[in-house]
Structure 1
């Protein structure tokens, strides 16, 4: 019998019976946005969903970790104006996440993990996670799996690889090759990468980031070089990322804050 780990597939009676003291609820969250001429709009949401499923499916049957339906839309402000992009405002997305946290707390859950597939919203999820913690008592853990250390891959790489590039394209070729138009893929964003190379502290995303829009960096919408992406590489990346996420979920489950006394 296939183990059920999708929380929404349970009845309310089933949810009542879950041991909330050890349960972890996982919310995959992505975006619907342009990913250059070769990748589908759903790339980020599909990454979050498949990586989460792969991670949880590899856990023991009694792991008590439950997955919610993927939240497909995200804060995609940097891609607005590109055909097909559907973006929530920061206020809307934060409200959705807060409502989610309040609802889970009302059902007795204590731990929530956001598995984020979209690079435009980690900062927002960090902020809203703390608000959920403050307002509901839930322990909240935002994680972006694509930031886990990557496996060693024999590839010469220069410039950015943050949107529709080698990594994202390889994973999509592994999980949904029918949605990838690799014949349309080409590198873009190298001029911006070269510009940032001139500076000691200034980066696109790092210690001293800039509030960039896609139009600042790329004509095509791709920020990276997807031309040598492959399904074989994508499978290696997916396995590595999912393994690290599975380990992380078990760490979240085992974690508790030490008791403190306010002075």
Structure 2
């Protein structure tokens, strides 16, 4: 019998019977936004969903870690104006996440992990995670799997920024859904912006001293990176590594408790 770990596949009676003392709920969250001329709009959401499912599926049958349906829309302000992009405002996305926290707390859950596939919203998830913690008592952990170290056989630095539709994302989509990838349309973009930031000691696109960039500031095509050498084999290696790191992280979240625990 196939193990069920998707929370929404259970009945209300099943959910009520879950031991909430060590249960962890995983919420994949992505975006529907342009990813250059070669990748589908759903790229980020598919990454979060596939990595979350692979991570939880690799855990023991009694792990008590549950995956929710993916939140496909995200805060994609930087891509607005590009065809197909559908963006939530920060206010809307935070309200959705707060409602999610309220609902899980009302069902008795105590731990929530946001698995984020979209680079435009880690800051927002950090903020809303603390608000959920304060309002509901839930312990909340935002994680972006693509920030885990890449496997040694994969060089993520070979195409400059590699932050949007580049080598890494394209490779992963070639592994997940090759039928959705138009690799013949892929070409490098964003190198001029990478060269400009290389002139500065502290200023970066995303780092210690970031700038609030829009896609139109750094890329004509919508791609930021070089997807031309992407491959399904590289994508499979990245997926396996990210899922392994996430599985380990989920077990750490499950074992963790605050030493004071005044709000638990």
Q: Give TM-score scaled by structure 2 length.
A: 0.97
The 3 A distance-change label for structure 1 pair 154 and 126 is closer
State the match for 1:16 in structure 2. Answer: 16
Deviations 1:77-117 (A, max 9, x none): 00000000000000000000000000000000000000000
Cα deviation, 1:148-205, whole Å, max 9, x if unaligned, reads 0001236571421000000000000001000000000000000000000000000000
**1:124-148 superposed Cα distances (whole Å, 9 cap, x missing partner):** 0000000000000000000000000
TM-score (norm 1): 0.98
Query: Residue 214 of structure 1 corresponds to which residue in structure 2?
Result: 215
Tell me the residue number matched to 1:259: 260
Where do 1:7-156 residues align within 5 Å? Answer: 7-153=7-153, 155=155
Partners of 1:230 and 1:158 in 2: how far apart? 14
Show structure 1 runs of 4+ deviating over 2 A: 153-156
2:5 & 2:119 partners in 1: Cα distance? 26
Contact 2:28–2:49 at 8 Å: present in 1 too? yes
What residue in structure 2 maps to residue 164 of structure 1?
Answer: 165
Question: Is contact 2:113–2:142 with CA below 8 Å preserved after alignment?
Answer: yes
Q: State the partner residue of 2:199.
A: 198
- The change in CA–CA distance for 1:258 and 1:158 in structure 2 (over 3 A counts) is same
Aligned-partner SS, 1:128: helix
1 CA distance for matches of 2:38 and 2:176? 15
Q: Give the unaligned 5+ runs of structure 2.
A: none
Unaligned 5+ residue runs, structure 1?
none
CA drift of 1:259 comes to 2.1
Pairing of 1:212-251 with structure 2 (within 5 A): 212-251=213-252
CA distance, structure 1, for counterparts of residue 107 and residue 261 of structure 2 = 26
Partner of 1:6: 6
